[in-house]
Structure 1
Amino acid sequence: MTLSILLQAAASMAFAKLGAAFGAGLAAIGAGIGIGKIGGSALESIARQPEASGDIRSNMIVAAALIEGVAFFAIIICLLAIVL
């Protein structure tokens, strides 16, 4: 009886670690896609209005930094779930 409970707990921990690793990967991929879309849109808008390139570039950097912050937070939480 006790052995079956311990085996079920060990199996659920393995799935939890697998889910945390999968979540960290999804966070990194999502951040890469988001920053890529921001960069592409910024380049298109600079090509259309070259005189506004300074404003567009600064807004792009702020948006990319916010996305990176969220991605790092998600990756750290997933890595903590793996370790703890």
Structure 2
Amino acid sequence: MTSSTSTTTVADITRTVTEVVAEILDRPVDALSPDADLRGVEGADSIKVVRIIAKIEQTFDIELEDDEIFGINTIGEVVALVERATARERS
């Protein structure tokens, strides 16, 4: 079962994305905010960012476009991408 449903809210997406980032980067969830720069979090590197994106795509059963992914820096930007992608999937 995936997290992508028609009732998924921005708060739900934010929580799930933050949990994925925390898991992959081995950081406490409460140490991460929506404006946290993914590449600036201790322990982050390009491989881990790719793993974060892959896990988010799997979790929400979506596919993010490469050009969208390369432009993201913060958790909030990931949330916005997921929100748009889940909206596309529902329509």
Q: TM-score normalized by structure 2?
A: 0.33
State which structure, 1 or 2, has the greater radius of gyration over its C-alpha atoms.
1
Query: Going by fraction, where is helix more abundant, 1 or 2?
Result: 1
Higher RCO, 1 vs 2 (CA within 8 Å, ≥6 residues apart): 1
